[in-house]
Amino acid sequence: ILRQRFCHQRLPEKPMGIESQHKHLLELLRRTAVHGESNSVLIVGPRGSGKTMLLKCVLRDLLEVKDVNKNVLQVHLNGLLQTDDRIALKEITRQLNLENVVGDKVFGSFAENLAFLLEALKKGDRSSSRPVLFILDEFDLFAHHKNQTLLYNLLDVSQSAQAPVAVIGLTCRLDVLELLEKRVKSRFSHRQIHLLSSLSFRQYLDNVILQLSLPPDFADAKFFEEWNDSIKNVSEVLHQVSVCKPSIKPTDLLEASRVCVADSKANILHGLSVLELCLIIAMKHLSDIYEGEPFNFQMVHNEFKKFLQRKSQSIYNFDKPVVMKAFEHLQQLELIKSVDGSTGKIHKEYQLMKLMLDHNQIMEALQKYPQCPTDVKQWALSAFG
């Protein structure tokens, strides 16, 4: 029963603690699906806060509305999978079942291609167009696409009423709007739904107990009573329960909590060499100086050399090919990413890159890094606070 409840991710009847956000989002998407009104919205919150669950609950409730199920179309994109606009457009075409309609047609621009897809969905006049919900998971990663063409065109369509379209972005980044270009930002509705837990600790404990308790119709009444009584004495999350080990210990709960909140990128940082960590600090420093503009290897190497000359007594003065090898390793780990269109004939030392880490991830890695040289930590603190 518990495995099915947790692992199969059955949606709750009503999302607990986020009722107002559920009502707001459902009304927004209902206006698109029923009345053909275009909208855009961002769902913002830390990992595990319930963004996807909220959206799934809303979509489930929306599809129960009369005629919506047969009419509304959904396109699900993910910034981790659709890493450039060409891949994203191909996926949009596939999900809308329009591969045969597009065929071998050649389009002059992304906007033309998208307009053609939306036109193909029309059943007659504009008022009879089928509503499309574009769901963009890891929304902030789409902001790294060249010229933000996908975001610009989707938001432009949602603003200009060419077709009934809703653009729903999901992101962990509170500063996501700062990543958008001016022309993209101007076309966004600036509606944001924040999922920051409003539960009191008592409500949180009640919710945990509810999730771990067996239902009243459980076959064995004696075990049902014993289990639920034991759960009431526990105020953490379920972990490592089996037939052989039917009880929960505090250490199990602490370990489960640690695994749940682990940041995969921060974990990668813990395994880097000191040289690679220094390059990350240099990149973050450059990003701060140039307000998020891309950088290349040569700029990073120069920044690293300045650190060696001014502040470091503990770091060896590595040869340039060794530093380049470390730089390429960071790219393989996807901690840095080439900017679209910057490869090709450009020499690898001058190819433009973006750092895919935020301030907190870097600082946390420095704190937990085993035997991190003091001057490296001091450089990081002086470089970006």
Tens digits of residue pLDDT in 34-72: 888 889 999 999 888 889 999 999 999 999 887 788 888
Amino acid, res. 171 = T
- The predicted model gives 181-186 an average pLDDT of 91
* Of 93, 2, 11, residue with least CA distance to 54: 11
Residues with Cβ within 8 Å of residue 217, at least 6 apart in sequence:
none
DSSP conformation letters of 14-79: S-TT-HHHHHHHHHHHHHHHHH---EEEEEE--TTSSHHHHHHHHHHHHHTSTTHHHH-EEEEEET
* Of 325, 307, 331, 327, residue with least CA distance to 317: 307
For the cut 50, the answer to whether the pLDDT of residue 287 exceeds it is yes
Assign 301 a pLDDT band (cuts: 50, 70, 90). very high
Mean pLDDT of the chain: 82
If one counts every other C-beta atom within 10 angstroms of the C-beta of residue 52, the result is 14
Per-residue confidence (pLDDT) for residue 315, from 0 to 100: 74
pLDDT: which is higher, 32 or 104: 32
Phi and psi torsions of 132, nearest 5° = -120, 130
Per-residue confidence (pLDDT) for residue 241, from 0 to 100: 54
- Structure tokens belonging to residue 376: 């490296």
Residue 320 sits at the vertex; the CA angle it makes with 319 and 325, to the nearest 5 degrees, is 105
pTM of the predicted model as reported, rounded to 2 decimal places: 0.60
- The predicted model gives 131-152 an average pLDDT of 90
Q: Report how far residue 179's alpha carbon sits from residue 175's, in angstroms, rounded to the nearest whole number.
A: 7
Are the C-beta atoms of residues 281 and 380 closer than 8 Å to each other?
yes
Residue showing tokens 């998971």 = 137
pLDDT: which is higher, 338 or 251: 338
Tens digits of residue pLDDT in 233-286: 665 454 455 677 677 677 776 776 666 566 677 778 878 888 898 899 899 889
Per-residue confidence (pLDDT) for residue 201, from 0 to 100: 66
Q: Report how far residue 237's alpha carbon sits from residue 257's, in angstroms, rounded to the nearest whole number.
A: 7
- Structure tokens belonging to residue 4: 């099915």
Tens digits of residue pLDDT in 198-219: 667 677 777 788 888 898 889 8
Per-residue confidence (pLDDT) for residue 250, from 0 to 100: 73
- Structure tokens belonging to residue 10: 């059955």
- The predicted model gives 124-140 an average pLDDT of 79
Tens digits of residue pLDDT in 162-182: 678 899 999 999 889 999 999
For the cut 80, the answer to whether the pLDDT of residue 339 exceeds it is yes
* Helix (H), strand (E), coil (C) string for 282-309: HHHHHHHHCCCCCECHHHHHHHHHHHHH
Per-residue confidence (pLDDT) for residue 126, from 0 to 100: 47
Q: How far is Cα of residue 1 from the mean position of the Cα atoms in its chain?
A: 30
Per-residue confidence (pLDDT) for residue 236, from 0 to 100: 47
